Amino acid sequence: MNAPGFALLSVRNHGIGQIGIDHAMTRAADDDTMASLAPARGLSAALDRATASHARAAALLLGFCLIAFLPGFFQIPPVDRDEPRFAQATKQMLETGQYVDIRFQNEVRYKKPIGIYWLQAAAVKAGEMVGVPHALTTIWLYRLPSLFGATGAVLLTYWAALAFVARRAALLAALMMASSILLGVEARLAKTDAVLLFTCVAAMGAMARSYLAHRRAPETKPCWRWPAIFWTAMAGGVLIKGPLILMFVALTALALSILDRSGRWILKLRPFLGFLWMIVLVLPWFVAIVAKSGMTFFSDAVGHDMLAKVASGQEAHGAPPGYYLLLFFLTFWPTAPLAGLAAPMVWQARREPGAQFLLAWLVPSWLVFEAVITKLPHYVLPLYPAITILIAGILDQGGLVKTRWLVRGTVGWFLFPGIVAVLIPVGFLLIDRDLGLIAWPTAAAAMIFGLFAWWLYEVDGAERSLLRGMMASVLVAVTVYAVAFPSLPALFPSALIAKEVRATGCQQAHVASTGYYQEPSLVFLLGTDTRFTDGAGAAQFLREGPCHFALIDARSERNFVRRANAIGLRYALSERVEGYNISIGRQVSLAVFRSMAAP
């Protein structure tokens, strides 16, 4: 039963498992309701047209994803360190034809299962077939699975949200995902997280429909559609990132079963046959990798990677509890300013089936991530769709609270692009001794959209302000990814070095690097046989023949020269590369030496 006087997520009578917002609203929400009834104009008009059908909604989402994710997608070089590690392991598969084992140079890379490498390999193969030049070292081909995964996750967020809210709110929820800062980052990186998000949303959307169908009609015979989607998505998630998707699903199911004091609804997912289907899908590769490596894969992936992150801050990524909550206001911008305004209504609706499912999806896994020592921003990304659906459901029916101090938080729509606009010239000055004027127009436009989103919040309503915030997010992406990064090549020293080496005319260049610049992007761009050594080793390396290059940092240069003189090496300074290593936050200065033999 809906409690009168405030918005609640509740089961609708006219659709199985569909959740709506109670239309009995308090007078405190009247202003937002009237704003939503006013003649639509501008961005709201586009939203109105898109809600006319699912096809139009999907078209709008697809177009928005391309506008949000493509800026910088093709221009930005490999970003150290995780992206080139994944890409290089895939490249070695393509070079060797070995599609079961996962290696980075001569070292096994058993931190993640095979799924993402197969997807990247397929994308590169397709690129080669259509004639993309230098496909093996073209990083954007390796990013295509992430782009498709992020776009698919946005479309699936719309689909999943339809189990809880009306079409307009579902569209808003999906747009919230598409415009979020965190998903925009992951869509541009050749890693696992955007694809994992895709599988998680598919699984949770199917799981939600089964749960809500049981709550509405417990005795109804379960259909096969939702279990088929659920268990197939589970298999995909396991092949992409191991047992992480199992944690999301298990914690959600456990929380719901405890709250309902019954787990009978799980039977609608056909757990026995479904689990067998999942095993059929994932087992062949696991059998193959065990035959290849014994139990090394499981000891590395589970013991050295997953469990180690629980007990210690792996790779200097430790952080205290509360880290994700604080970071939420950055990674979930531009929707984050509305989270506090929606929270009171979400709390009042917590016992309703729809809200209960979404909170079970969100809260237990979030608490686990806050408790784990190792923390990275993207770990909580699969939980964001639950937040978007909760906020969209409240927003669509004007249920955001009017509490003054919470409303003041909408200044975040202006603050974020304002901070970006300040950091852009500062970054240009520090890195390139330039004011970065080329980035000012789009940064200023982002600020203007953010300013109007904030100023007109109480005039035009939350929905229109959020849409303006989304446009500000797109303009921020253009400013940072399409303008600033490509205009600052010093941020990507490996790309500068690769360009210099290729300019010498060597067809088969061999490279060794010393000191603290031993980044995976070098291996990806310059070849699997790229060597990491010290100054003396680099001198010996140059002696091996023509088209050999040594990258010598200042600390190693004396040892290099001493050893080169001792062995009578003839070498020349080809170029000195100055840059900034973003993976460690340090300036880079490398002398590029080459042997004197003709190429």
Mean pLDDT to the nearest integer, 276-291 = 95
Q: Half-sphere exposure of 322 toward its Cβ, with a 13 Å CA cutoff?
A: 1
**Lowest-confidence segment of 211-225, 247-261, 454-468, 518-532 by average pLDDT:** 211-225
pLDDT tops 80 at residue 525: yes
pLDDT tops 50 at residue 1: no
Rounded Cα gap, residues 329 and 333, in angstroms = 6
Residue 111: pLDDT band with limits 50, 70, 90? confident
Rounded Cα gap, residues 509 and 205, in angstroms = 50
Rounded Cα gap, residues 517 and 460, in angstroms = 52
Mean pLDDT to the nearest integer, 558-586 = 92
Regarding pTM above 0.85, the answer is: yes
Q: Which two tokens stand for residue 555?
A: 């600390």
Q: What is the DSSP letter of 588?
A: E
pLDDT tops 60 at residue 421: yes
Residue 507: pLDDT band with limits 50, 70, 90? confident
Rounded Cα gap, residues 175 and 151, in angstroms = 11
3-state secondary structure of 549: strand
Asked whether 138 and 190 are in contact (CB, 8 A), the reply is no
pLDDT tops 80 at residue 304: no
| Residue 297 C-alpha from the chain's centroid | 25
What is the pLDDT, as a whole number, of residue 187?
Answer: 98
Asked whether 155 and 104 are in contact (CB, 8 A), the reply is no
Rounded Cα gap, residues 186 and 324, in angstroms = 17
- DSSP string of 109-162? --SS-SHHHHHHHHHHHHHHHTT-TTGGG-HHHHHHHHHHHHHHHHHHHHHHHT
Instruction: Please write the tens of the pLDDT for every residue from 346-379.
Output: 999 999 999 999 999 999 999 999 999 999 999 9
Mean pLDDT to the nearest integer, 141-167 = 98
Rounded Cα gap, residues 573 and 592, in angstroms = 6
Instruction: Please write the tens of the pLDDT for every residue from 13-39.
Output: 333 334 443 333 333 334 444 443 343
**Crossing angle for the helix pair 43-50 and 54-69, to the nearest 10 degrees:** 130
Asked whether 558 and 550 are in contact (CB, 8 A), the reply is no
List of domains in the chain: 9-74+141-402 (no CATH), 83-140 (no CATH), 420-486 (no CATH), 492-595 (3.40.190)
What is the pLDDT, as a whole number, of residue 20?
Answer: 42
Q: Which two tokens stand for residue 312?
A: 């210690």
Instruction: Please write the tens of the pLDDT for every residue from 77-103.
Output: 999 999 999 999 999 999 999 999 999
Q: Which two tokens stand for residue 217?
A: 């009609």
Q: Which two tokens stand for residue 104?
A: 């980075």
Rounded Cα gap, residues 80 and 597, in angstroms = 32
| Residue 198 C-alpha from the chain's centroid | 10
Q: Give the position of tokens 């984050």.
A: 336
**Lowest-confidence segment of 211-225, 267-281, 326-340, 526-540 by average pLDDT:** 211-225
Q: What is the DSSP letter of 190?
A: S
Rounded Cα gap, residues 23 and 12, in angstroms = 12
